[in-house]
Amino acid sequence: MKEGFGFLKKKYDLHNAPETAAAARRREKRTGEKVLKAPEAQIQNYLDRFSEIIERKEPAKRERGIEALKTILYRKFVIKPEEIPEAYFETQRRLAREQGHGEIEITDETREQLTEAVVADQQGSLDQWVDYLSSEDATYPDWLKYYSFRSVLAMGEYDKEKKQFSKRSRGTTKPFPDINREALAYVLDAVEKKYQGKTPDELDPEFQKFLSGENFAKLYAFAIDKVTPAEESELANTAGEWVKYRQGRDHMPLVKSLQGHGTGWCTAGESTAEAQLSAGDFYVYYSHDKDGKPNIPRAAIRMQQGSIAEVRGIAFEQNLDPHIAPVVQAKLKEFPDGAAYEKKSADMKRLTEIDNKNKQNLALAKDELVFLYEIDRPIEGFGYQRDPRIAEIITMRNPKDDMLVVFECSQDQVAENADEVNENTRAYLGHWNMEVFQKIRNYHNIKHLYESFPDKKIFMQALETDPKINSPESAEEAMERKNIFRSDWSKDILYKTEFSKEAQKYELARFTVGQLGFPNGATTDEIYKKAEKLGLELCPAEVGPHLRLQYPGKEWMLIAMKQIAGRDGDPRVFGLGTNGAQLGLSGFYAKPSYRWNSDYEFVFCFRK
């Protein structure tokens, strides 16, 4: 880190920056300890705040910290609605005319829609940088993360012809630059080597000039141009071979085989490749190039501690391209934990089939629509983000028409409020609250519940426990087999949880604190007492691990249960959520007087 202090001190005068001084004051107020005046101490303290968020052990706290960081960034760097220049709206009107839509009027509604799109695009483009730089894959030191992110905040649009980024101007409606993990690794490796006194591999005079000036925008533009993705015509050819790079071996052959191919993998960076190979074997599938040689990287399987850590492709957001999925599926059969990844491969194959049918305007069957709209479970892929084809296909369809096919009902059998619910109702589509719940629970003919279709499904379901999972040990073994993350706090209360020896059936429903009648939030005790008055009951503690094992959703929710003391004696309840891409089980602090915001969601039991 020593080289990092010098870099940030020289380039940004960071030790004297107002935000660094503010961070020192916050630490003194929080801990009672003063930060030393030495530049290194001041800079380290400033960077420690971000490390502390990223390295939080409890996934929920980590996620809340990252979301809070994003909110601060939005406030400071994302354009405000009132800052969008009038010229932007005039440009949209001109483009509409040029695209054959005729003269359009920019109404208040149109202006609001365009404004929302601009803000959402900027927030989304910032998110991709925050999400990646805070992930385990970004193995760079904090000073390099700071350098890249601060640089991105000042960068405008990438000009493909000039091969350069413009400077970001105040009031710009453009998103922040896209992240290319391979290009980023290429740049940060070179900068790190420079400050370690090593000679970078890249000897191009122009690159050396940019490196000398430490101009991230120019270095990144150079790298983007250097990493050229495979042409579409090359992707159809899947003949090739797998190559295994063994754990602990020299990482440079792996690095050199990836650089210049536009995989988008951060493994193309030396430091990342070295870190990943130190943790496990790395497999890469290379398809044949035009000369018939296996040189084009198409898919990778990264191992960690003997298990599959991730599978990556070269499509958008590192998903598998449609052609290579069968090759990866066959390879995964060789691994003990390959079944879970085979499921992802099967999902990608089926999504490709649906995509092709949709493009040909062929009708989709009910089971295909159930899959596409993720009615029973999420579609799983190998990328960092949800496969973009899902949204693309749905955009081309009419969800209201598809909804009736999925629900196997007519429009008059869909209720949109409590008053419309009757014996003829097959589905409910509307606001979710206690009034609707009390009405619906008496009608067993209602099979589908949504606040909006398909994105907001209402959680109200039966849970039947597995009699084989009848102890804390068997529950943890089952979660281990399913690769479910367990926080230390969840393990504490798991081993104090009583499990039924025979199968039990629980009727469950989920409500936000606000939906229970607390728009301004409430304490744990207030929530529990109000729920009891409304006819809800606390769940037995075993509902938490059983539901985590059976429920595929990644949204965060808390189990309304009698609290169990954790290792520190504090009362805790189970929470379902994620740890990165993994499903997770956590143990949330839930003192009776602890106050929850109105948007927290609790799962309760109820009697039919």
533 contacts 565 by C-beta, under 8 angstroms: no
- Give helix 59-77 / helix 108-133 axis angle, nearest 10°: 130
pLDDT at 6 over 50: yes
User: Would you say 494 and 472 are in contact if contact means Cβ atoms under 8 Å apart?
Assistant: yes
Alpha helices in 333-482 (DSSP H): 338-359, 366-372, 388-395, 399-407, 434-440, 472-481
Q: How many CB atoms lie within 10 A of CB 219?
A: 25
Dig out the tokens for 186 from the structure: 């290429």
Answer left, alpha or beta for residue 202, where phi above 0 means left and psi between -120 and 50 means alpha. beta
Judged against a pLDDT cut of 60, whether residue 98 lies above it is answered with: no
Find tokens 């980590």 and name the residue.
Answer: 62
Chain position carrying tokens 């014996």: 423
Backbone angles phi, psi at 224, to 5 degrees: -60, -40
pLDDT of residue 267: 83
pTM (predicted TM-score) = 0.52
What does DSSP say about strands 460-464 and 456-457: parallel, antiparallel, or unpaired?
Answer: unpaired
Burial of 427 (0-12, 13-18, 19+ CB in 10 A): buried
- The 10s digit of each residue's pLDDT in 17-67 is 888 888 888 888 888 888 888 888 888 888 887 777 777 767 777 788 888
Of all residues in the chain, the percent with pLDDT exceeding 90 is 41
Q: Which pLDDT band, with edges at 50, 70 and 90, does 159 fall under? A: confident
Q: Would you state the pLDDT for residue 384? A: 60
Decide which of 517 and 348 is more confident: 517
* In the block, residue with structure tokens 């499921």: 343
How confident is residue 101, by pLDDT bands cut at 50, 70 and 90?
A: very low
Distance CA 414, CA 114 (A): 32
pLDDT-derived band at 380, boundaries 50, 70, 90: confident
Query: What are the CA-CA distances from residue 306 to residues 28, 183, 251, 276, 479 (Å)?
Result: 43, 29, 18, 13, 17
pLDDT at 511: 96
Helices 39-54, 59-77: inter-axial angle, 10-degree rounding? 120
Longest CA span, the chain: 77
Looking at every residue in the chain, the average pLDDT score rounds to 87
Which pLDDT does position 99 carry in this prediction? Answer: 44
State the DSSP code for 251: S
Indicate whether 105 pLDDT > 90: no
- Residue 243 CB contacts under 8 Å (≥ 6 apart), including other chains: 257, 283, 284, 285, 286, 294
Percent of the chain with pLDDT over 70: 94
Q: How many CA atoms lie within 13 A of 104 on its CB side?
A: 19
Sequence-separated (6 or more) residues with CB below 8 Å from residue 98: none
Amino acid identity of 81? Answer: P
Residues 559/548, Cβ–Cβ less than 8 Å:
no
Query: Rounded to whole angstroms, what are the CA distances from 437 to 20, 311, 319?
Result: 51, 41, 39
Q: Which residue has the tokens 């250097």?
A: 226
- pLDDT value of position 383: 64
Name the least confident of 174-188, 468-482, 559-573. 174-188
pLDDT of residue 42: 85
Distance separating alpha carbons of residues 16 and 513, to the nearest angstrom: 44
Residue 41: helix, strand or coil by DSSP? helix
Q: Which range, of 152-161, 352-361, 405-414, 498-507, averages the lowest pLDDT?
A: 152-161
pLDDT for 298 equals 94
**Do 562 and 464 form a contact (C-beta atoms < 8 A)?**
no
pLDDT at 516 over 50: yes
Tokens matching residue 388: 């973009």
